[in-house]
Structure 1
Amino acid sequence: MSADPAAGNPYPGLRPFNVDEEDLFFGREAQVDAMVDKLAATHFLAVVGTSGSGKSSLVFCGLLPALHRGLMASTDGCWRVAVLRPGIQPIRALAQALGRPGVLPPTGAEELGFTPEELIEAKLRIGKLGLVDVYREALSRDDPRRNLLIVVDQFEELFRFQALAGAGATSSATSACASTSVSVSVSASASASAAMPGRAPGEGTAFVNLLSEVTKHPELALYVVVTMRSDFLGDCAQFFGLPEAINAGQYLVPRLTRDERRAAIEGPAHLRGAAIDPVLLTRLVNDLGDDPDQLSILQHALHRTWAHWAAASQSGVAARAPITMADYDSIGTMGGALNQHAEEAYGSLPEGRPRQLAELLFKAITDRGTDARGVRRPTRVDTLCAVLGTSVQELTPVVEAFRDSTRAFLMPPAGVPLLPATVVDISHESLMRVWRRLSEWGDDEAASAQIYRRLAESARLHGSDQALLLRGPELIAALAWHRRSKPSASWAERYGAGFQAAMAYLEASQRHAAWLRLLTWVTGMLGVAAVFAVFVFYAWRASETRELALASAKNQASAAVAQVAKVSQEKAVSDQVVSELFRSQDAQQYKPVAGAAAQGAGTAADPPLDPAAPPVYMQYGDSRQKDMALGLQRQLRRLGMYRATGAEAVDTAPKVTEVRYFAADDKIAAEALVARLKFWRMGSQVTAVLVNAGGLRPQPQQLEIWLRRVDVAQVGTLVQRLRGDDIDDRRAALSLLIDGYSAAPEAIAAALATLSPENYGGVSGEGVFNTLRFLSRSAPVAWSSDLEKQGAQLIAYLGDRRTTGAGARFSDATSKEIAALEALLEAVRARRPLPFGV
Structure 2
Amino acid sequence: MGGNGVGRRERRLDPEAGPVQRFAAELRALRESVGRPTYRTMADKVPFSVTALSQAAAGRQLPTLAVTLAYVDVCGGDPGEWERRWRAASAEAAALTGADDGTRPPYRGLTRYEPDDAALFFGRDRLVERLDGLTRAHRFTAVFGPSGSGKSSLLRAGLIPRLRAPGAGAGTDAAAAPAAVRVLTPGAAPMTTHADRLDPVPDTEADTWLIVDQFEELYTLCADPAERNAFVDRLLTATAADSRLRVVVAVRADFLGRCAEHPGLTAALQDATLLAGPMSREELREAVVRPAAASSLVVERALTTRLLDEVEDAPGGLPLMSHALLETWRHRTGRTLTVTGYEAAGGLRGAVVRTAEEVYGELTAPQAGLARRILLRLVAPGDGTPDTRRPAGHAELDLGDPDGTRAVLDRLVAARLLTLDDGTVELAHEALITAWPRLRGWIDAERDRLRVHRALSEAARTWLALGRENAALYAGSRLAAAREAFVHDPRGGEPAPGELTPSERDFLAASIHRRRRAVWLRRGLSAVLALLVLVASGTAVVALRARATAQAERDDAVFGRITAEADRVRETNAALSARLDVAAFGMRTTPELRTALTTDAGRVLSTRLPGHDDIGSAVAFAPDGRTLASG
TM range (shorter): 0.5 to 0.7
Question: What secondary structure, in the 3-state scheme, does the structure 2 residue paired with 1:88 have?
Answer: coil
The answer on whether the counterparts of 1:489 and 1:500 sit within 8 Å (CA) in structure 2 is no
Q: Deviations over 1:84-107 (max 9, x none)?
A: 1111121233345x3xxxxxxxxx
Q: 2:214 maps to which residue? A: 154
Task: Give, in angstroms, the shift of residue 338 of structure 1.
Answer: 0.2
CA contact (8 A) 1:49 1:252 kept: yes
Q: Does 1:59 align with 2:155?
A: yes
1:332 correspondence with 2:346 = yes
- Quote how far apart the aligned CAs of 1:432 are: 1.2
Deviation at 1:340, TM superposition (A): 1.0
8 Å CA contact 2:289–2:299 kept in 1: the answer is yes
Note the 1:684-763 alignment, pairs <5 A. none
1:18 matched residue in structure 2: 114
TM-score w.r.t. length of structure 1: 0.43
Offset of residue 500 of structure 1: 5.2
Q: Distance in 2 between matches of 1:455 and 1:380?
A: 15
User: Any residues of structure 2 matched to 1:239-278 within 5 Å, and which?
Assistant: 239-278=262-301
Give the partner amino acid of 1:410: L
- For residue 403 of structure 1, what is the aligned residue in structure 2? 413
Matched, 1:342 2:356: yes
Q: Is the 8 A contact 1:154 1:227 kept in 2?
A: yes
The residue type equivalent to 2:109 in the other structure is G
CA contact (8 A) 2:122 2:290 kept: yes
Distance in 2 (CA, whole Å) between partners of 1:40 and 1:371 is 35
**CA 1:21–1:451: 2 relative to 1, 3 Å:** closer
Partner SS for 1:241: helix
Is residue 352–residue 435 contact of structure 2 (8 Å, CA) maintained in 1?
yes
Distance of 1:67 and 1:263 partners within structure 2? 23
Aligned equivalent of 2:82: none
* Contact map agreement 1:348 1:401 (CA 8 A) in 2: no
Structure-2 residue corresponding to 1:304: 327
Cα distance in structure 1, aligned partners of 2:383 and 2:509: 19
Q: Residues 378, 466 of structure 1: CA spacing in aligned structure 2 closer, same or farther, 3 A cutoff?
A: closer
- Aligned equivalents of 2:117, 2:486: Cα separation in 1: 51
Residue 40 (1) aligns with residue 40 (2): no
- Cα separation, 2, equivalents of 1:425 and 1:202: 26
For residue 296 of structure 1, report the CA deviation from its aligned partner: 0.7
> Aligned partners of 1:160 and 1:451: how far apart in 2?
14
Aligned partner of 2:314 among 291, 307, 310: 291
Structure 1 residues 465, 430: closer, same or farther in 2, change over 3 A? closer
Per-residue deviation, residues 299-338 of structure 1 (Å, max 9, x unmatched): 00000001110xx42xxxxxx5x32211110011012110
User: By how many angstroms is 1:345 displaced?
Assistant: 1.0
| Partner amino acid, structure 2, of 1:347 | G
Q: Give, in whole Å, the separation in 2 of the partners of 1:234 and 1:492.
A: 37
Residue by residue over 1:147-203, the C-alpha shift from the partner in whole angstroms, topping out at 9 and shown as x without a partner, is 31111111111111222xxxxxxxxxxxxxxxxxxxxxxxxxxxxxxxxxxx6x611
The residue matched to 1:256 in structure 2 has which SS?
Answer: coil
* Contact 2:149–2:318 under 8 Å retained in 1: yes
Residue 238 of structure 1 aligns to a residue in which SS?
coil
Contact conserved, 1:301 with 1:337, CA < 8 A, in 2?
A: yes
Mapped to 2, the partners of 1:17 and 1:49 lie a distance apart of: 16
CA distance in 1, matches of 2:243, 2:155: 21
Matches within 5 A, 1:361-400: 361-385=374-398, 388-391=399-402, 393-400=403-410
> Which 5+ residue runs of structure 1 have no aligned equivalent?
99-130, 164-198, 314-319, 414-420, 510-838
Contact 1:27–1:256 (CA under 8 A) maintained in structure 2: yes
| Partner of residue 232, structure 2 | 208
- Structure 1 counterpart of 2:192, one-letter code: R
CA distance in 2, matches of 1:465, 1:155: 33
For the structure 1 residues 494 and 265, does the alpha-carbon distance in structure 2 shift closer, same or farther, using more than 3 Å as the test? farther
Question: 2:523 — aligned with what?
Answer: none
Largest Rg, 1 or 2: 2
Q: Deviations over 1:429-457 (max 9, x none)?
A: 1111111111122123323246779999x
Q: State the Cα distance separating 1:411 from its structure 2 match.
A: 1.5
Task: Classify 1:453/1:487 alpha carbon distance in 2 versus 1 (closer, same or farther; 3 Å).
Answer: farther
Distance between the aligned counterparts of 1:152 and 1:94, measured in 2? 11
Deviations 1:533-570 (A, max 9, x none): xxxxxxxxxxxxxxxxxxxxxxxxxxxxxxxxxxxxxx
CA shift for structure 1 position 484: 13
Rounded Cα–Cα distance in structure 1 between residues aligned with 2:455 and 2:235: 37
Question: Deviation of residue 400 (structure 1)?
Answer: 0.5
CA–CA separation in structure 1 for the residues paired with 2:376 and 2:298 = 40
SS at match of 1:53: coil
In structure 1, C-alpha distance between the alignment counterparts of 2:323 and 2:304, rounded to whole Å: 15
- Relative distance call for 1:93 and 1:247 in structure 2 (3 A) is farther
> Which residues of 2 match residues 590-605 of structure 1 at below 5 A?
none
Distance 2:328 2:443 in 1: 29
After superposition, the CA RMSD in angstroms is 4.0
Shift of 1:508: 12
**Residue aligning to 2:169:** 72
SS in 1 for 2:143: strand
Aligned equivalents of 1:203 and 1:139: distance in 2?
25
1:441 aligns with 2:462: no
Q: Does 1:88 align with 2:188?
A: yes
Residue 155 of structure 2: SS of its match in structure 1? helix
The amino acid across from 1:366 in the alignment is V
Deviation at 1:8, TM superposition (A): 1.9
Distance 1:87 1:333, change over 3 A: same
CA distance in structure 2 between the aligned counterparts of 1:466 and 1:344, rounded to whole angstroms:
41
- The answer to whether residue 420 in structure 2 is matched with residue 412 in structure 1 is yes
The one-letter code of the counterpart of 2:412 is: F
Inter-partner Cα distance in structure 2 for 1:357 and 1:258: 41
Instruction: Name the CA distance, whole Å, in 1 between partners of 2:251 and 2:456.
Output: 34
Unaligned runs of 5+ in 2: 1-96, 458-470, 520-631
Q: Is the 8 A contact 2:188 2:218 kept in 1?
A: yes
- Counterparts in 2 of 1:280 and 1:508: CA distance versus 1, 3 Å: farther
The structure-2 alpha-carbon separation of the partners of 1:202 and 1:279, relative to structure 1 and needing over 3 Å to count, comes to same
Q: CA deviation at 1:409?
A: 1.2
Identity of aligned residues (%): 31
User: Deviation per CA, 1:712-770, whole angstroms, max 9, x where unpaired?
Assistant: xxxxxxxxxxxxxxxxxxxxxxxxxxxxxxxxxxxxxxxxxxxxxxxxxxxxxxxxxxx
Closer, same or farther: CA 94–72 of 1 in aligned 2, 3 Å: farther
* Superimposed CA distance per residue, residues 640-676 of structure 1 (whole angstroms, 9 cap, x where no aligned partner): xxxxxxxxxxxxxxxxxxxxxxxxxxxxxxxxxxxxx
1:189-200 superposed matches below 5 A? none
Q: Does 1:28 align with 2:124?
A: yes
In 2, Cα distance between equivalents of 1:332 and 1:20: 28
CA deviations over 1:392-413 (Å, ceiling 9, x no partner): x331111011112xx1111217
Q: Whole-Å Cα distance in 2 between the matches of residues 333 and 491 of structure 1?
A: 38
Equivalent residues in 2 for 1:445-484 (5 A)? 445-449=446-450
Paired with 1:15 and 1:376, the residues of 2 have a C-alpha distance of: 13
Is the contact between residue 48 and residue 253 of structure 1 (CA under 8 Å) also seen in structure 2? yes
1:288 deviates by 0.3
The answer to whether the 8 A contact 2:122-2:286 is kept is yes
2:248 corresponds to: 225
Closer, same or farther: CA 466–151 of 1 in aligned 2, 3 Å: closer
Distance in 1 separating the partners of 2:127 and 2:452: 46
Instruction: Provide closer, same or farther for how the CA distance between residues 43 and 279 of structure 1 changes in structure 2, counting only shifts above 3 A.
Output: same
Number of residue equivalences: 401
TM-score, L = length of structure 2? 0.57
Kindly tell me: are residues 492 and 448 of structure 1, through their superposed partners in 2, closer, same or farther at Cα, counting changes over 3 Å? farther
Pairwise CA distance, 1:493 = 8.2
C-alpha separation in 1, matches of 2:263 and 2:503? 29
